[in-house]
């Protein structure tokens, strides 16, 4: 355990939180994942995103393999979040009509029959950019409405991307967590208003669980692609956490898929919003909240309140929690852009933190204790998720160059 910053200002702790009876593990079951994948495959825009084999970097880092799931290709939206938003919206419509999700595919959701049977709803959400863009895109494609609230400090490019999808979008004078509360209040005042938020709280668990299930498509694709690359499973999975929905989804799905042979799950956060790390540091199983402006360039991770559904999955199935400064992500962005002997890859601020962290663990002597604790060596097969491309082009150029 290292609870003090090392030379690269990385803090970490192995998971010693007491386990629960795992009440949410079923949400990420193989059966549910199958329904999700069938739904996503019904979209004409669907195709598997690439799993990039970073073989040259793996050799340099003395790893058995290093693979990165590149979500910059997802539905043409430059990020993975649309997987959760679209599935949750479809599920809400299906349930309102007492239909099975298997019967609520793209063809039905875009049909005249849906307009007659359902009409139109307004889907409300708060976002740093990627989730809101996914909700806005899904609403436009499916003939629904979207209202999106963004936290202060949001860059214009992310605002514009959502506005281009036809959503009603605003930048609020508030942080992400307060924007969530405002979105809920607006939805409550709106006829057919539905909150599609990728975090949960008491009384609001169903839709967040559907969003998490939506991420199973990405996890399942990666597992199958890894087999095609010659590896039965990863030994280590590094996954980012803001509210923790993605991290919990990945941990839960792989726990169901691999069982007792599950890879080690390492959860990464921005140090300005490291609520999961602080919760793990306390060690009592209760969630800790980070308040304030949550200033980090990793906008997708700038969330100070954990999703209790995913938090429960992580306290049961995560092995380590790591708090990372922005410099770790910036290093990862530059390494992927340069290729390091592999094909160049565009990864944004929230997408590249895994690459930067793995590089630091394997090369920085001050990370030796963490390397040993995780058992990272020449037999290790590491899986990362580049969750976004250059969603802030100006900052990407500032860090990486032209």
pLDDT one-digit tens code per residue, 126-138? 998 899 999 999 9
Which tokens sit at 87? Answer: 């599935």
The mean pLDDT of the chain is 95
100 given a catalytic annotation: no
Residues 366 and 250: their CA atoms lie apart, in Å, by 28
* pLDDT over threshold 60, residue 95: yes
Alpha carbon distance 30, 36 (integer Å): 10
Percent of the chain's residues with pLDDT above 70: 98
pLDDT at 7 over 60: no
Enumerate residues 6+ apart whose C-beta is below 8 A from 338.
344
**pLDDT for 138-175, tens place per residue?**
999 999 999 999 999 999 999 999 999 999 999 999 99
Band of pLDDT at residue 221, cut at 50, 70 and 90? very high
pLDDT tens readout for residues 253-296: 999 999 999 999 999 999 999 999 999 999 999 999 999 989 99
Predicted confidence (pLDDT) per residue in 174-189, tens digit: 999 999 999 999 999 9
Per-residue pLDDT, averaged over 16-36, amounts to 98
Q: How sure is the predictor about 5, in pLDDT bands with cuts at 50, 70 and 90? A: very low
Q: How far is residue 390's CA from residue 394's CA, in Å, rounded to a whole number?
A: 9
pLDDT at site 129 = 84
| Rounded average pLDDT over 236-264 | 98
Nearest Cα neighbor of 30 from 218, 195, 256, 251 is 256
Of 69, 81, 210, 264, catalytic: 81
Task: Single out the catalytic residue among 69, 70, 105, 128.
Answer: 128
**Whole-angstrom distance, CA of residue 289 vs CA of residue 333:** 28
Q: Does the 82-204 domain belong in CATH 3.40.309.10?
A: no
Query: Does 128 participate in catalysis according to the annotation?
Result: yes
pLDDT in tens, 306-342: 999 999 999 999 999 999 999 999 999 999 999 999 9
For 242, the token pair is 């803001």
- Tell whether the model's pLDDT for residue 4 goes beyond 60: no
- Domain 11-80+212-400 CATH (choose: 1.10.10.10, 3.40.50.1100, 3.40.50.1860, 1.25.40.10): 3.40.50.1100
Instruction: State the pTM of this model.
Output: 0.94
Percent of residues, the chain, with pLDDT higher than 90: 95
Q: Is the CB of residue 102 less than 8 Å from the CB of residue 35?
A: yes
The set of residues, in sequence order, having a beta carbon less than 8 Å from that of 280 and lying 6+ positions away, is 13, 15, 16, 17, 315, 318, 321
- Of 6 and 59, the one with more pLDDT: 59
Domain boundaries, the chain: 11-80+212-400, 82-204
What pLDDT does residue 402 have?
67
Q: Provide the pLDDT for residue 128.
A: 84
What pLDDT shows up at residue 311?
98
Does residue 81 register a pLDDT over 60?
A: yes
Q: Decide if 9 contacts 235 (C-beta within 8 A).
A: no
Do 80 and 130 touch, CB atoms closer than 8 A?
yes
Give the pLDDT score at 8.
Answer: 59
Is pLDDT of 87 > 80? yes
Looking at the predicted structure, is the pLDDT value of residue 1 above 70?
A: no
pLDDT at 104 over 90: yes
Q: What whole-number distance in Å separates Cα of residue 126 and Cα of residue 299?
A: 13
For residue 198, what pLDDT is reported?
87
Is the pLDDT score of 378 beyond 60? yes
């Amino acid at each position: 355990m290292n609870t003090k910053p090392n030379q690269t200002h990385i803090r970490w702790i192995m998971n010693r939180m007491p386990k629960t009876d795992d009440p949410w593990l079923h949400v990420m079951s193989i059966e549910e994942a199958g329904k999700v994948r069938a739904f996503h495959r019904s979209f004409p825009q669907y195709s598997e995103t690439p799993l990039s084999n970073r073989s040259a970097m793996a050799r340099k880092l003395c790893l058995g393999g290093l693979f990165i799931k590149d979500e910059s290709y997802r539905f043409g939206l430059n990020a993975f979040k649309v997987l959760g938003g679209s599935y949750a919206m479809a599920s809400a419509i299906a349930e309102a009509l007492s239909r099975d999700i298997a019967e609520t595919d793209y063809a039905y959701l875009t049909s005249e029959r849906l307009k007659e049977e359902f009409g139109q709803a307004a889907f409300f959400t708060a976002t740093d950019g990627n989730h809101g863009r996914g909700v806005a895109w899904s609403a436009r494609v499916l003939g629904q409405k979207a209202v999106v609230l963004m936290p202060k400090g949001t860059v214009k490019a992310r605002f514009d991307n959502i506005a281009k999808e036809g959503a009603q979008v605003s930048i609020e004078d508030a942080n992400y967590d307060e924007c969530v509360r405002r979105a809920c209040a607006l939805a409550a005042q709106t006829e057919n208003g539905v909150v599609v938020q990728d975090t949960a709280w008491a009384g609001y668990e169903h839709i967040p669980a559907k969003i998490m299930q939506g991420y199973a498509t990405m996890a399942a694709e990666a597992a199958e692609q890894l087999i095609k690359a010659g590896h039965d499973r990863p030994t280590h999975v590094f996954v980012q956490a803001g509210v923790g929905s993605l991290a919990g989804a990945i941990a839960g799905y792989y726990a169901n898929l691999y069982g007792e042979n599950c890879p080690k799950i390492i959860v990464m956060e921005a140090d300005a919003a490291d609520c999961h790390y602080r919760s793990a540091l306390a060690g009592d199983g209760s969630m800790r909240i980070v308040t304030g402006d949550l200033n980090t360039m990793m906008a997708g991770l700038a969330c100070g309140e954990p999703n209790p559904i995913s938090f429960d999955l992580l306290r049961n199935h995560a092995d380590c929690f790591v708090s990372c400064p922005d410099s770790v992500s910036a290093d990862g962005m530059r390494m992927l852009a340069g290729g390091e002997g592999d094909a160049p890859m565009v990864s944004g601020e929230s997408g590249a933190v895994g690459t930067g962290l793995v590089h630091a663990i394997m090369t920085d002597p001050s990370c030796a204790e963490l390397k040993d604790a995780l058992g990272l060596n020449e037999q290790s097969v590491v899986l990362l998720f580049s969750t976004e491309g250059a969603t802030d082009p100006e900052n990407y150029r500032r860090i990486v160059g032209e």
